Amino acid sequence: MIKDRKIRIAVVGCGRISKNHFGSIESLSSEYELVAVCDTDTSVLKAHREKYKVPGYSSIDELIHNEDLDLVTLCTPSGLHATQTLKAAEAKINVITEKPMATKWEDGLSMVRKCDEEGVKLFVVKQNRRNSTLQLLKRAVTDKRFGQIYMVHLNVFWTRPQEYYDRAKWSGTWDMDGGAFMNQATHYVDLLHWLIGPVETVHAMTSTHRDIEVEDTGVVNIRWRNGSLGSMAVTMCTYPKNLEGSISILGEKGTVRIGGVAVNDIQEWSFEDKREYDSEIEGANYQTSSVYGFGHPPYFQNVADVLRGKAEAETDGREGLKSLELLISTYRSARDHKEIHLPLNL
């Protein structure tokens, strides 16, 4: 446990999502001390080294060898997360990894296993859980206000043009990136188990319209162990811009739909009973042009609290595996044209 000093953190990978990590570290300056940055692109590394006035390293091996770290946060391509996590764990450094935690089921298992063996913490970023709209929905589910949940449906209708995938060689590849389900819609996949519970079976179909290896469009049908049925429709080919990120839950005693571009607008909230927090709906809605939401700072606060022995992890490695299991099951179903039963590791 880290008690009477700041948590020494390094950011590994200074691409698109890293700004949310740097911003969280800055906003929690009483908790964190940024001690180094790491990136393989020399110009990107130079810019971040100069901006944050900290040492910069072109490899995680150099970083680990030269710095005394409590924590690294991985904003690198998804296919690198496993290898980098194993290296950090061996050096007794705690790890935050961006979504998805890995692109392969075996890699995710090895990450959790290695961190257990080395006695370090593994955190998987699921910042959308912290969005105000989803916090209210989680509360309603926890309070069992829906009664029996009959039907669940999620839409992720966003756009990622060819230029998006052309920005890097690893983008749009199976090994390093994953497709629309694994990369862009991964936080929505997370809602399937976080809100509704363990999944029993999935049956998926995918298609590809951009010049990439992976899918940019897909649908999946889901049966939960509690008897609920549902589906999810995802595409990165919406014209001309991001249109919708939504979830609808239809239950015995309640109906909720949260829409907007990124589940930021509660459009239907109807329950048989009334609760005090129903009055918070209007205040929970927010405007956003970003699909990332605003959950990174509170997520980083939870990480700090865990490392100081004051809280349990909201999303640790094992919780991250639940999303990865659903993702891998979806891909196996689409590839093999059959229903996949969970869990995978039985």
Q: Within 10 A of 329 (CB to CB), how many other CB atoms are there?
A: 24
CATH topology of domain 7-127+296-316: Rossmann fold (3.40.50)
Q: Which residues contact 26 (CB under 8 A, 6 or more apart)?
A: 34
Label residues 78-113 b or e (16+ Cβ within 10 Å = b).
bbbbbebbbbbbebebbbbbbbbbbbbbebbbbbbe
Domain boundaries, the chain: 7-127+296-316, 128-262+324-341
Distance CA 58, CA 168 (A): 17
Can you give the pTM of this predicted structure? 0.95
DSSP per-residue letters across 54-71: S-EESSHHHHHHH---SE
In percent, how much of the chain has pLDDT > 70? 98
Which helix or strand (DSSP H or E) is residue 89 part of? helix 81-90
For tokens 């990590």, what's the residue? Answer: 21
Q: Which residues contact 113 (CB under 8 A, 6 or more apart)?
A: none
Distance CA 92, CA 166 (A): 36
| Residues forming a β-bridge with 9 | 34, 71
- Strands 340-341 and 71-74 turn out to be unpaired
Distance CA 281, CA 274 (A): 13
Position 66, amino acid: N
When the pLDDT of each residue in the chain is averaged and rounded to a whole number, the result is 96
pLDDT in tens, the chain (346 residues): 999 999 999 999 999 999 999 999 999 999 999 999 999 999 999 999 999 999 999 999 999 999 999 999 999 999 999 999 999 999 999 999 999 999 999 999 999 999 999 999 999 999 999 999 999 999 999 999 999 999 999 999 999 999 999 999 999 999 999 999 999 999 999 999 999 999 999 999 999 999 999 999 999 999 999 999 999 999 999 999 999 999 999 999 999 999 999 999 999 999 999 999 999 999 999 877 666 567 899 999 999 999 999 999 999 999 999 999 999 999 999 999 999 999 998 6
Distance CA 304, CA 310 (A): 9
For tokens 């100069």, what's the residue? Answer: 50
CATH number for 128-262+324-341: choose from 3.30.360.10, 1.10.10.10, 3.40.30.10, 3.30.420.10: 3.30.360.10
Q: What is the pLDDT of residue 287?
A: 79
Each residue of 38-68: pLDDT tens digit?
Answer: 999 999 999 999 999 999 999 999 999 999 9
Q: What is the pLDDT of residue 291?
A: 62
208: left (phi over 0), alpha (psi -120 to 50) or beta: beta
- DSSP letter (8 states) at residue 311: S
For tokens 């691409």, what's the residue? Answer: 15
Q: Residue 233 phi/psi, 5° resolution?
A: -120, 130
Q: Closest Cα partner for 262 from 304, 294, 221, 290?
A: 290
Distance CA 189, CA 255 (A): 20
Distance CA 199, CA 253 (A): 22
